[in-house]
A and B are shown apart, each in its own frame.
Chain A
Amino acid sequence: MTMPDEGLSPVVRVIAAMLFPFILIFSLYVILHGHLTPGGGFQGGAIGASAVVMLIVAYGARWVESKAGEESVSVLESLGGLMFVVTGLLGFLLAATFLSNFLVGEVLFGEIPTFGSNPGILNTGGTLPLLNIAVGLKVIGGLASVVLIMALGSRRDAA
């Protein structure tokens, strides 16, 4: 039986390719609902990074690197950090202090729920969903690039 020099059998590849978008959607759900349900930027980012790790294991690091190189993944990570800092500085400029919640009452994420219990309104939280998205981008980029570099540094002739 001849195996490819990297990656696993076609069965594993097909199942991984089928599961990959669903895991990414679940990761986006955990990130976007971070201010309502358990989870948040870090947890959703870890789930998204585990989807990328599954592709690295199934298809091999060089295939993944030819689709999304280490530089572009690092750009994603830096974009997350930049988004967090810019959101904080916008709070400094538009409201009182660093990271103050300047979106309360606005159209985007600014709805103020009425008093009492509710089933969980997504359009609330002010800047918190934006910060969750920023942290999620940074964690996906960081953890995926860690595993990608680790797998790319492997010897090709390893048993």
Chain B
Amino acid sequence: MWSELIHVVIPVLLVIAALVAILMRDLLASAVALAVMSLLLSLEFYILQAPDVAIAEAGIGACITTAILVIAIKNTRRMEEEA
């Protein structure tokens, strides 16, 4: 029962984190939401029994991509502007 439940809960949280990353006006909060989405995605890969992909996703997606995005935001503007 718990395994079926976790197969439903984690994709729902994944979609919510992706929507938060899109809808935030603050780009720094958006980058953090993207890191949360990467972490949930690596958890999803793990429960789908692909631990290799999960380790790579946790290292690349949650750490290095977030650092690159934060450096990029630091050198530009933090808030999103109206087009």
Contacts and interface: CB of A to CB of B under 8 A. Distances in A.
A50 B56 CA distance: 11
Interface of A: 30, 38-40, 42-43, 46-47, 49-50, 53-54, 56-57, 143, 146-147, 150-151, 154-155, 158-159
Contacts of A154: 71, 74-75
Nearest to B63: A50
Contacts of B54: 38
Given A154-B75, A158-B74, A43 B55 contact: yes
Interface SS of B by simple majority: helix
B33 to A, nearest CB: 18
* In the A-B complex, the 4 residue pairs with the closest CB atoms: A46-B59, A38-B51, A50-B63, A43-B55
Contact of A40 (B52, B63, B78): B52
Given A47-B55, A154-B74, 6 more contacts: A38-B52, A39-B51, A50-B63, A154-B71, A155-B75, A158-B75
B75 A53 contact: no
A43 B56 contact: yes
Nearest to A30: B55
A57 B67 contact: yes
Interface residues of B, number: 17
B77 to A, nearest CB: 9
A47 B60 CA distance: 8
B68 interface: yes
A147 B68 contact: yes
20 contacts: A30-B55, A38-B55, A39-B52, A43-B56, A46-B56, A49-B64, A50-B59, A50-B64, A53-B63, A53-B64, A53-B67, A57-B70, A143-B60, A146-B64, A147-B64, A147-B68, A154-B74, A155-B75, A159-B74, A159-B78
